[in-house]
Copies of this chain bind each other. A is one copy, B any other.
Amino acid sequence: MNFQIKTPTIIIDAKKAKSNILRMKNRAGEAGAIFRPHFKTHQSADVAEWFREIGVDAITVSSIAMARYFANRGWTDITIAFPFNINELDDLIELQKKSRITLIASSIQTFAVLEKNLSEVTDVFIKIDVGAGRAGISIENPDLINELASYLSKSCKLNLKGFITHAGHTYQAKGLQAIQLISDKSYRSFQYLKQYTGNLSYMVSWGDTPSCSKANLTSYFDEWRPGNFVFYDVMQYHIGSCGLEDIALAVACPVVEVHPERNQAIIYGGAVHFSKESIAADDGFKLFGYVVKFNDDGWSDPVPGAWLMAVSQEHGIVQLSDNQKDMFKVGDIIGILPIHSCLTMSSLSEVCTLDGTKIHTMNQE
């Protein structure tokens, strides 16, 4: 890099990110799915343009505020893939003046509030839990889903498009075979569900980065909403969703202390920059990120034997191996590949590309 880094700064390799975007768009197309990428990972108007350049015009976000940020920049087809929060009804109505908003929910209570208060016909999905155990009605409860679908079929204002899910349990899957199994099982469950409701035209919207990156999903789902793939991260590398060479985001951090006597360096870069996301082993070992070196073209592969082993509010502790104890000196800028790029983007407001071009994000508003 030929520009000065002063404080922890996200560096995006735009070439890698654009390649990740194009690859995922093509994969979705080949599988017969609408590509509606999740923008919660980058939360950036500038990165969003890289999607627009290749013809993407339908997007996913995770909050009304994020929808507003993108609606203000000309995105007119937005799904808010978070259970609608009825306390934000006024903001939704205001937002609908700018963009076509699709909502998700899993209860009659929420849909009834929308039915009563919205003035325009709005597309909705029923949120389904296929095993992640977070939001949505369990797919193993087709009666409850059917009840909600029947309720919505009588609505004049809410247009039920189908079912939406996030198979977040692929993040805990051990290997690609397990990810494929989750995808296959979900596909069959949705086929059964559509038959059970008597409406085969219901869409199924799918979305996790591991399965969209690697599983065979041909003709399985009508829409894909992965988000993380734009940058990937160490977590996705561990799951098997990407190679190290696909990771398109590193955090540039100043070295503020070196401790050769304990093979460690202290960096300016901590929980407020990376969050406290880690990959933990049973023996207490925790990995908070890989260490890379910046060079003229971007950054190196992870330095073997070096890793970010602890973070507190602003400090990070980098562990080095015996022969690396003199590798860094005070003032050096080193790179950290974070565990979770979404949380890193959400935490840091200093973002630029490898050539120093500043990137606008929601955090800067």
Contact = CB atoms under 8 A, between A and B. Distances in A.
B342 A87 contact: no
Contact of A134 (B5, B82, B315): B315
B7 A107 contact: no
Contact of A313 (B40, B256, B317): B40
A135 B254 contact: no
A110 B257 CA distance: 9
Interface in A55-85: 62-65, 82-85
Contacts of A275: 271, 275-276
Contact of A254 (B7, B87, B105): B87
B7 A85 contact: yes
Interface string A247-287: 00000001011100110001010011001110000000000
Chain A contact residues: over half helix, strand or loop, or mixed?
mixed
Interface of A: 4-7, 40, 62-65, 82-88, 91, 105-107, 109-110, 113, 127, 133-136, 138, 141, 168, 254, 256-258, 261-262, 266, 268, 271-272, 275-277, 310, 312-315, 317, 329-331, 333, 342-343, 346-347
Given A83-B266, A110-B330, 19 more contacts: A4-B87, A6-B87, A6-B88, A7-B63, A7-B64, A7-B65, A62-B314, A82-B256, A85-B254, A86-B330, A87-B333, A105-B257, A109-B329, A133-B317, A134-B310, A134-B312, A135-B257, A313-B343, A347-B347
